[in-house]
Chain A
Amino acid sequence: MAKTDASADPTPAELALQLRQLALVDRVLGLEAEVARLSTTSPNSNGARDEVERLQAELRAVYASRTWKLGSAVARVIRPRRR
């Protein structure tokens, strides 16, 4: 029979944290890509500089967030344990 549940499956709390962690990593990589685009396509315009600064501030905020630090640590631990 197909399984609908299994002890090795992540708990709802683990899942929520892992989904949050995936989203954070995605945002970080996306922000870094936007910064790179603005830096290469129009590096000297005032608008681009302001946008780069705004995106870099967002990045710093994510790196400094408790969710990011906690998520990184938990994700490292959870995945090997499940396999």
Chain B
Amino acid sequence: MLSVIVPVATGQSSSVTANGVEVIVVEQSGQTLAAAIAEGVARATGSYIAVLGPADQLDSAAAETLAAVFETGADAVYTDEHVNGSIFSKPAFSPERLRSQFYTGNLTAYSRELIERVGGVRNGVEGAELYDLALRALTAAKSVVHLDSVLVTSADVALASAWGTDDETALASIRSVLEEHLAATGGGEVESVNLSGANVTHRAVQGNPLVSIVIPTRGTSALVNGVERCMVVEAVRGIVKNSTYTNVEFVIVIDDVASDEVRAELASLGGDRLRFVEWDQPFTFSGKMNLGVLHARGEFVMLLNDDVELITPNWLEPMLALAQLPKAGLVGSMLYFDDDTIQHAGHAYYRLDVTHIGLHSERGAAGPHDGFRVEREVAGVTCACALMRTSVFIEAGGFSTLLPGNFNDVDLCMKVATLGYQSYWTPAAELYHFESKSRDPRVARSEIDTAWGRWERLIWHSPLWPTDPHEVFTSDGR
């Protein structure tokens, strides 16, 4: 049976069972919220336990639906919720996203065994009791299941606020529990916290590994904002002058048509950290990248297009920290077109369409439920700018030469995923990507056949981005 604990600031304690749900109301009576929840857990007779606020409304099907999932062996289940007039369709379990956002929210149910195993709700974290429980319990859980059913309508007022916890205390508690969680799960730092939305947290870079930045290029120029520029030269210049992570080498896979002037300028910028790998065959992005990576000496490779420009100087650190996570696959960044609209905030698949999350949304837009503002797990990323362990690239067979110009990054991400690696995306690394200036829009029929032949079964939807990825958002929240 599901037991739902409802702490109330005013009112009487009671226990009622209806529709298969045991509702345990716990009154404040001068005790802390943590103590009230602990009292509720002690009084509960159900095998699964959730905590809701007094104004939250549980769907009548919740008990039966949750019980069916728990019977499959899950020890924690969270559902979609109706909140602030819209449905929050949540992603599949995303531990890295959880450290930036308490997205599991309502309704999260835990097995009694799990709650007891992690020591229950803690005192001393006023205003962050449930976030703290989620961080500790979901990290310790053997199986966390996302149920894509809306089983609760949540009130506008958070439980802690209704309990009377002031904002300053709550913010301090959120920071504290996040710092503790990061320390316990590999390290990291809390940059800022927020009562209602995204917290800015980052993983910490371990050591100072060499990153090989592999850039395929023909050394061509294009007009950007009315100014003609050699794309690869400006990309390298921006990194050399601005990147705060400096243990890098450049592997420039360069066509034989590139001019001596371009080569000389690149050599001048990169010095002994830059090597040329000559390419004298017809263009193939996959072939050039594979050749470049085989020349890379770094433990990590940054797969980078030549038509990018760095925005955030500390771009590599957040990407590298994610790429260093156990079983990390590719790590992508936030890319903007030159008109300051989003080009890429991760890949998503929707009804056999492969697309960029956030495409054409305004820079600064939060996205659905702050999705553009939080580091998170993704199905894939564009390899216009992607970081990964060199060994993982090799293990996955690199880019498929059957996909010389298109879908090669989707394919690589899929291969990496089937090998058991998880890809990530971070908004903390921002670059311009002048894709329209350089991209050949032609797609070969054979590329579609190959990519869809391999992965059609996996591109119906993205459990990590369950809403329509084509939605366009403005910076004022629409």
Q: Please list the residues of chain A having a beta carbon within 8 angstroms of any beta carbon in chain B.
A: 1-4, 6, 8-10, 15, 18-19, 22-30, 32-34, 36-37, 40-41, 75, 79, 82-83
Contacts and interface: CB of A to CB of B under 8 A. Distances in A.
B276 interface: yes
B294 A2 contact: no
A54 B8 CA distance: 65
A33 B390 CA distance: 22
Contact of B454 (A8, A25, A30): A30
A30 B400 contact: yes
Ranked nearest first, the 7 interchain pairs of A and B with the lowest CB-CB distance are: A25-B397, A26-B397, A2-B267, A33-B454, A22-B398, A2-B274, A3-B275
B418 A25 contact: no
Nearest to B249: A3
B457 A83 contact: no
A10 B297 CA distance: 10
A29 B397 contact: yes
Given A1-B271, A29-B396, A29-B418, 18 more contacts: A3-B272, A6-B275, A9-B295, A15-B294, A22-B290, A22-B397, A23-B401, A25-B395, A26-B396, A26-B400, A26-B402, A26-B415, A29-B415, A30-B415, A33-B414, A33-B455, A34-B454, A79-B390
Nearest to A27: B397
A82 B394 CA distance: 14
Contacts of A37: 453-457
Contacts of B399: 26
Contacts of A40: 457
16 contacts: A1-B271, A2-B274, A9-B295, A22-B394, A25-B394, A26-B399, A26-B401, A26-B415, A28-B397, A29-B397, A29-B415, A30-B402, A33-B415, A33-B418, A33-B455, A37-B453
A30 B134 CA distance: 38
Interface in B390-419: 390-391, 394-402, 411, 414-415, 418-419
Contact of B290 (A4, A8, A19, A79): A19
B299 interface: yes
A41 B394 contact: no
B270 interface: yes
B397 A79 contact: no
B25 interface: no
B266 interface: yes
Contacts, number: 88
Interface of B: 263, 266-267, 270-272, 274-276, 290-291, 294-295, 297, 299, 390-391, 394-402, 411, 414-415, 418-419, 450, 453-457
A36 B294 contact: no
Contacts of A24: 397
A63 B477 CA distance: 53
Nearest to A15: B294
Given A26-B400, A29-B397, A83-B297, A2 B275 contact: yes
A28 B402 CA distance: 13
A61 to B, nearest CB: 17
A8 to B, nearest CB: 7
Given A3-B274, A33-B414, A33-B455, A25 B294 contact: no
B291 A15 contact: yes
Contacts of A6: 275
Contacts of B297: 8, 82-83
Contacts of A28: 397
Contacts of B457: 36-37, 40-41
A17 to B, nearest CB: 10
A27 B399 CA distance: 11
A58 B270 CA distance: 45
Nearest to A79: B394
A74 B418 CA distance: 24
B266 A2 contact: yes
B275 A79 contact: no
Contacts of A30: 400, 402, 411, 415, 450, 454
Given A2-B266, A15-B291, A75 B394 contact: yes
B254 to A, nearest CB: 10
B406 to A, nearest CB: 15
Contacts of B453: 34, 37
A2 B272 contact: yes
Contacts of B270: 2
B396 to A, nearest CB: 7
Nearest to B286: A26
A15 B454 CA distance: 27
A34 B390 CA distance: 26
A73 B30 CA distance: 69
A72 to B, nearest CB: 11
Given A30-B400, A34-B454, A1 B275 contact: no
Contacts of B401: 23, 26
B432 to A, nearest CB: 25
Contacts of A75: 394
